[in-house]
Structure 1
């Protein structure tokens, strides 16, 4: 007596086989929008399965918006559904509104990430935060680009929260997380020494609170840093438009 593998029941495997075959035919144009699919009886014979399997496969395609059963007429192929926009796909960080929206969202998310990092970090994760902070400071002091290092610093904190959704969120945003390039048409500006000192002080306050295990202070320091960033970018964009 054979057994199914991977936790699938034989009937479920057959349903997937039929629906995948029909899905492929729709994708390659063998069954075009407006076409009627073969009847249940034809599909049953073609795939050597029961009518129940065929019905479940059709139901799966229907739930995906690929086909539509019509009473007394059969099952018809629909126009493919419009692709859903990717999350944050309409961001334009050269616009004040998008920039501030993103910084406000980051303030909420990363504030809690820093608080959790203060409580949950491992020694290795704490070391990664400190190393990222040190690298960021060295690059800023030497006048080199800091966006990548800044991203790595925030990502290290998100990972130390030990909830994978925080780091997934930051990776989803990618380099839009640090919008310095966006507000200067892609060329990262060289930050001034005074600005580097401000960033270092704000980042250092976050690191110190996390190392102290102070959830409230870590959350407040991260939120303060990102709210200050909002104010700085507002002023920068106002200056560019003058």
Structure 2
């Protein structure tokens, strides 16, 4: 695959910058400093003002959009539409410590993300393709070092959702946040029993998705994402069983 490799540290730094910028913009909106109806500064202006990349600005704005504070209007810019946070996502109350809830969420993700992968293969821009590749390379590096891969795993799925160029897919994943990658939340030591074989299988599945998207293979991307998430159902069951056994 082509694309400039990203380090795990770089990906982590980007996430931190996104959170910092989103927090600053959110505070300005909630305080009334930027009133409802007002247009936010352009992407270029925010990039210059805060000394961050355009990608950081886009992700920060996306976070505010998922919170119901702003909306993008075609050809006009991003406008503030509320100065109070909404009651949160309907998924906030889902208890992923319960295997039944986790499996229900995985089934729901299959319904959404399989189509997202196909659309990403058809619509991705060169920059979006590069982001998918870079995130995957960072994920591989962290996994090889034995680190916590959940955040970068989420970033990979989010990069695929963004490559659809339909913001609703991105908003769905953002509403889940870290709950989309629940293995660290399974409890009972489940995260501790994740094996090298587990990550090797994940790597194969992730690369199959990315390769199909890069090749513009819509059907192949859908099949690869379906296989990945369906296998996830089975793996989470296995993780729960291993964790339960380790407690006895």
Q: What does the per-residue CA deviation read over 1:93-131, in whole Å, with 9 as the maximum and x for residues that have no partner?
A: 111111001100111101110000000000000000000
CA drift of 1:90 comes to 2.3
Aligned residue for 1:195, secondary structure, equals helix
* Counterpart contact for 2:190–2:239, Cα < 8 Å: no
**Residue 204 of structure 1 pairs with residue 213 of structure 2:** no
Q: Could you list the per-position Cα deviations for residues 190-239 of structure 1 after superposition, in whole angstroms to 9, with x for gaps in the alignment?
A: 74221121111000100010011010010110010000000011122233
Q: Which has the larger radius of gyration?
A: 1
Structure 2 residue aligned with 1:238: 241
**Structure 2: distance between partners of 1:171 and 1:151:** 9
Task: Give, in angstroms, the shift of residue 186 of structure 1.
Answer: 8.9
1:121 aligned partner:
124
What is the match of residue 142 of structure 2?
139
* Deviations 1:168-191 (CA, angstroms, capped at 9, x unpaired): 000000000000111136995374
TM-score, normalised with respect to structure 1: 0.62
Q: Deviations over 1:56-114 (max 9, x none)?
A: xxxxxxxxxxxxxxxxxxxxxxxxxxx97840132111111110011001111011100
Q: CA RMSD in A?
A: 2.0
Structure 2 distance, partners of 1:90, 1:196, is 29
- Structure 1 residue ranges, 4+ long, deviating more than 2 angstroms after superposition: 83-86, 184-192, 238-242
Pair 1:162 & 2:189 matched: no
Question: Relative contact order (C-alpha < 8 Å, sep 6+): which is higher?
Answer: 2
The aligned counterpart of 1:96 is 99
1:176 is matched with which residue? 179
Q: TM-score, normalised by structure 2?
A: 0.61
* Structure 2: tracts of 5 or more residues without a match: 1-85
Q: Distance in 1 between matches of 2:125 and 2:233?
A: 31
Q: 1:140 to 1:190 in 2, by over 3 A?
A: farther
| Counterparts of 1:187 and 1:101, CA distance in 2 | 19
Q: 2:190 touches 2:242 (CA, 8 Å); kept in 1?
A: no
Unaligned runs of 5+ in 1: 1-82
Paired residues of 1:111 and 1:223 also in contact (CA < 8 A): yes
Q: Distance in 2 between matches of 1:238 and 1:192?
A: 14
Aligned to 1:213: 216
